[in-house]
Structure 1
Amino acid sequence: MKALRAPLRARDPATAPDRGFGARLMTPLLLGAVLNPLNSTMIATGLVAIGRDFGTGPSGTAWLLSSLYLTSAVGQPVMGRLADSLGPRRVFLAGLAVVCAGGLLGTFAPAFAWLIAARVLLGLGTSAAYPAAMAMLRAESLRTGRPAPRPVMGRLSLAALGSAALGPTLGGLLTATTGWRGIFAVNVPLALLALAVALPWLPHDRRRPAAAGTAPASTAPDGTGPDGGDTGPVRPRQGPVRPQQPSGGPSATTPPRGALLRTYLRHGLTYLAIYCALYGYAQWLEEARGCTSVQAGLVMLPMSLAAAACSLLGARTKGLRAPLTTAAALLAAGSGILVTATGGTPLAALLIASALFGIPQGLASTGNQAAVYAQAPPDRVGSAAGLQRTAQYTSAMAATGLLALCFGQQASDAGLHRLAAVTGALSLLLIALTATDRALRARTRT
């Protein structure tokens, strides 16, 4: 009997890889997580076709970008707060239903104003997935008594980042094969697929305890507590208890609020530079360089591949300050190429510039996500994740304004140079902010 019990005792939940964070939980979360970043970028290579059909230029089609970003900037923290209070599963499923409605409206939109309305619906619906996913991971962390494993966080970041990076290429293919309406229509099967796996697989939301000092009223005989958390043996609680955390997870001592605010600022400035390059580069390739939507998407493919590869690399990096500083430096290098680019610039240089803007996406996305998870109060992870995305999409809206100022009615070499000068200045500011942030020096990930 002792020989039979020994292996059971050896299977410590804290050391079992991804125990509690398996495919049934992660598959729907990953499918949902791709929707918002995908919609934020795949329209980049469809803007020229949309503008041509509706008789508007870059200053008009910029509303298709800013409408989704404004909705997302407001919707992400709201959805995160709802996920923390009402339950992440409910919010996640409701968001997918709204995505279906937005995709259908955009597919059959008879006028430009209807496209803007569709983008608003898509922004609202897709805003639910990421903060709800972070809240579910935190609930699973409470149930298992340990934070989400680093590879799990890395996969969530990769899903969001990879879909954002692949968006321009996918948008170009859809525009060339089905027309720009395919950019909206693709949301319907993606959301339905996510619903099909979320309904049977995601854990049901549980009621929260009525009072902090008593056992949860919804505790089941098997020890299942609120939000799907496993409270273990039912016993009186004499104070708030937090599961043991490795370095880099939410710690017993919550970092100062200023550390989290600096993470939001750093994330926002990084993505201001990235979105300026993403949308400005795509439009310049088509209008000044003379590329088709497919060719423009292919030129930007190194950005996608580099972002995906470096998100995995960032998930395995122990420190935070070094990869984030490297990301800022590479943004400066990419800006240096674009500030001198013309219609005759060799293709190799354009591909290198694309990669130089892709690598920072991977490093900054995983690095800042890890910082938010470490610095946020444990019961507000969903809200904090939503505010991180608010910082990102506020910067995206600012980027659309910069595009209108730099390009006007048509993308040109001079406009690209002005835009690259702005991204270069932002990169230098990021280097200074990251290098002087003491919270990043003190925190590492296991």
Structure 2
Amino acid sequence: MILGSVLNPVNSSVLSVSLVPIGAAFGAPPSRTAWLISALYLATAIGQPVVGRLIDLYGPRRLYLTSTALTGIAGLLGTFAPSLGVLIAARVLLGFGTCAGYPASMYLIRSEARRTGAESPAGVLTALAVANQTIAVIGPSLGGLLIGAGGWRSTLALNLPLSAACLLLGSRRLPTTRPPAASGRPRLDLPGMGLFAAMLLTLLLFLMSPRVHNWYLPLMTVLAAAALVARELRTEGPFIDLRVLGGNPPLLLTYIRSLLAYTVSYAFVYGYTQWLEDGRGLSASRTGLAQLPLFAVAIAVSTTTGRSRQVRGKLMAGAVGQLAACALLLPLGPHSGVWLLVAIALVMGVPQGLNSLALQNSVYRQAEPERMGSSAGLLRTFGYLGAIIASAANGAFFPHRADTAGLHHLVWFLLAIAALFLAVTAADRSLGRTREPDPVR
């Protein structure tokens, strides 16, 4: 479960130190290499809830094995990519390949809790969150070491042994789920999935290039959204049950918080990391090492607070931590001392260790049990939407190179997002009532 769920964050974070050498290899500026980030999240944002719904209907085994095999194929394609375009295509394939791990894990945890009648396994949920946070944070350091040893292509080749391990463990350990009986086979809402994909695709393409001449993209997004609503409200067994979702405002607010929190987190990981190389002049390996304090703090915070049922306090502290970390970026310059870089990493480690864990626990407690896979997938979708917004912001503020002036403009944008995250959390009274789901015997 843990190995499958970290496939996406490892490919996200390792890339953060690969962007500059990849750009140098293909003669591409940051505005073009940003597509390597966006391509992964575009595919995953669409694929996560779709695969999650399939897991809800058919169980996790087949979806997990198929997706992780696709991850290996994408890693092979990326390792030998002859151009930036082929590398972007490999990242799209990688996005679809890493879709199943997280919703499969959440589905298995929730189904075991229902089967045994026990309370939610806080230790397992914490281990899942800590593993994802650990990989997300040590990814830059790992990427720097891989680049130092074998160049940027080694960061794509990493998927080959990971995929093989997932296939081996998944085939041996994941439970076999019987297909539904012919008379009771659930119907797959393919039109709903298609409309959902069209809505997200046009929205994310516009966010990646918000230009006046792309005016038709938000219009297509609105039309696809309207058609999706009309379809889902009148079909039996909808892909997204809008009536249930509309009657669950706490879950909707959790998705909004996910978007805001991950916008800041990913803009920090990619934008600040690029600045360390371009603006501060650090090598890829030293940039990775500069993020190690963030890793240590995030793990310590997650491990310490993991078993606490408190959600509101974690999110409030996480929002304040993001504001503080972003504020510390303002005095940065080409000759900033190492002590300031360490301080920034230490402060950012606190929200890194709190937010994803609290958001994951919120969805676990707020979602309908029979839709846990798709609900977990939607949580990741909103997180990836935040990642694409962050990528678009990085491309806008770093059009040619990640210089200090661009970093400071990016920081003011992030401060506004972090402040909104804090406001949404402070105003949500439902967080105080969030509790463990009742056992099902």
State TM-score, norm by structure 1: 0.82
Q: Which amino acid aligns with 1:44?
A: S
1:76 counterpart residue number: 48
For 1:123, which of 83, 92, 95 is the aligned residue? 95
Is 2:414 the partner of 1:414? no
Provide closer, same or farther for how the CA distance between residues 409 and 375 of structure 1 changes in structure 2, counting only shifts above 3 A.
same
Q: Do the aligned residues in 2 keep the contact of 1:83 with 1:91 (CA within 8 Å)?
A: yes
2:352 counterpart residue number: 361
2:139 counterpart residue number: 167
Query: How far off its partner does 1:356 sit?
Result: 1.9
CA shift digits 1:196-226 (9 cap, x unpaired): 11111111113457899xxxxxxxxxxxxxx
1:282 counterpart residue number: 273
For 2:46 and 2:97, how far apart are their aligned partners in 1? 12
Q: Do the aligned residues in 1 keep the contact of 2:12 with 2:37 (CA within 8 Å)?
A: yes
Q: Which amino acid aligns with 1:323?
A: K
For 2:155, which of 163, 183, 195 is the aligned residue? 183
1:151 counterpart residue number: 123
CA shift digits 1:307-338 (9 cap, x unpaired): 22222233122211111000000111111110
1:397 counterpart residue number: 388
1:310 counterpart residue number: 301
2:336 counterpart residue number: 345
Q: Which amino acid aligns with 1:70?
A: L
Q: How does 1:180-329 map to 2 (within 5 A)?
A: 180-208=152-180, 256-329=247-320
Query: How far off its partner does 1:444 sit?
Result: 4.0
For 1:106 and 1:183, how far apart are their aligned partners in 2? 9
CA shift digits 1:25-56 (9 cap, x unpaired): xxxx1111110111111101011110001000
For 1:374, which of 357, 365, 368 is the aligned residue? 365
Query: What is the root-mean-square deviation of aligned Cα atoms in Å?
Result: 1.8
Structure 1 counterpart SS, 2:18:
helix
Structure 2 counterpart SS, 1:45:
coil
1:242 counterpart residue number: none
Q: Do the aligned residues in 1 keep the contact of 2:245 with 2:251 (CA within 8 Å)?
A: no
Provide closer, same or farther for how the CA distance between residues 254 and 179 of structure 1 changes in structure 2, counting only shifts above 3 A.
closer
For 1:335 and 1:406, how far apart are their aligned partners in 2? 15
For 2:435 and 2:272, how far apart are their aligned partners in 1? 35
For 1:64 and 1:427, how far apart are their aligned partners in 2? 25
1:64 counterpart residue number: 36
For 2:311 and 2:178, how far apart are their aligned partners in 1? 34
Q: Which amino acid aligns with 1:85?
A: L
Q: Do the aligned residues in 1 keep the contact of 2:72 with 2:160 (CA within 8 Å)?
A: yes
For 1:187 and 1:334, how far apart are their aligned partners in 2? 32
| Higher Cα radius of gyration | 1
Provide closer, same or farther for how the CA distance between residues 152 and 140 of structure 1 changes in structure 2, counting only shifts above 3 A.
same
Structure 2 counterpart SS, 1:333:
helix
Q: Do the aligned residues in 1 keep the contact of 2:14 with 2:142 (CA within 8 Å)?
A: yes
Structure 1 counterpart SS, 2:17:
helix
Q: Which amino acid aligns with 2:262?
A: Y
For 1:386, which of 365, 377, 380 is the aligned residue? 377
Query: How far off its partner does 1:138 sit?
Result: 2.0
Query: How far off its partner does 1:344 sit?
Result: 2.0
Query: How far off its partner does 1:143 sit?
Result: 2.2
Gaps of 5+ in 2: 185-243
2:61 counterpart residue number: 89
Q: Which has the higher contact order (CA 8 A, sep 6+)?
A: 2
Q: Do the aligned residues in 2 keep the contact of 1:303 with 1:354 (CA within 8 Å)?
A: yes
Q: Which amino acid aligns with 1:180?
A: W
For 2:77 and 2:181, how far apart are their aligned partners in 1? 41
As a proportion of its length, which structure holds more helix? 2
Q: Do the aligned residues in 2 keep the contact of 1:268 with 1:394 (CA within 8 Å)?
A: yes
For 2:50 and 2:391, how far apart are their aligned partners in 1? 23
The number of aligned residues is 378
For 2:92 and 2:304, how far apart are their aligned partners in 1? 34
Q: Which amino acid aligns with 2:128?
A: L
1:15 counterpart residue number: none
Q: Do the aligned residues in 1 keep the contact of 2:58 with 2:180 (CA within 8 Å)?
A: no
Q: Do the aligned residues in 2 keep the contact of 1:76 with 1:128 (CA within 8 Å)?
A: yes
For 2:18, which of 18, 23, 46 is the aligned residue? 46
Q: Which moved more, 1:101-110 or 1:160-169?
A: 160-169
For 2:302 and 2:41, how far apart are their aligned partners in 1? 23
1:106 counterpart residue number: 78
Gaps of 5+ in 1: 1-28, 213-252
Query: How far off its partner does 1:159 sit?
Result: 1.5
Provide closer, same or farther for how the CA distance between residues 145 and 211 of structure 1 changes in structure 2, counting only shifts above 3 A.
farther
CA shift digits 1:69-127 (9 cap, x unpaired): 10010011011011111211111111110001000000111111110111011110111
Q: Do the aligned residues in 2 keep the contact of 1:36 with 1:123 (CA within 8 Å)?
A: yes
1:9 counterpart residue number: none
Q: Do the aligned residues in 2 keep the contact of 1:288 with 1:411 (CA within 8 Å)?
A: yes
For 1:433 and 1:77, how far apart are their aligned partners in 2? 24
For 2:183 and 2:128, how far apart are their aligned partners in 1? 33
Query: How far off its partner does 1:170 sit?
Result: 0.8
Q: Do the aligned residues in 2 keep the contact of 1:273 with 1:427 (CA within 8 Å)?
A: yes
Is 2:394 the partner of 1:438? no
Q: Which amino acid aligns with 2:383?
A: Q
For 2:314 and 2:351, how far apart are their aligned partners in 1? 9
1:16 counterpart residue number: none
Provide closer, same or farther for how the CA distance between residues 412 and 352 of structure 1 changes in structure 2, counting only shifts above 3 A.
same
What percent of counterpart residues are identical?
A: 43
Q: Which amino acid aligns with 2:290?
A: V
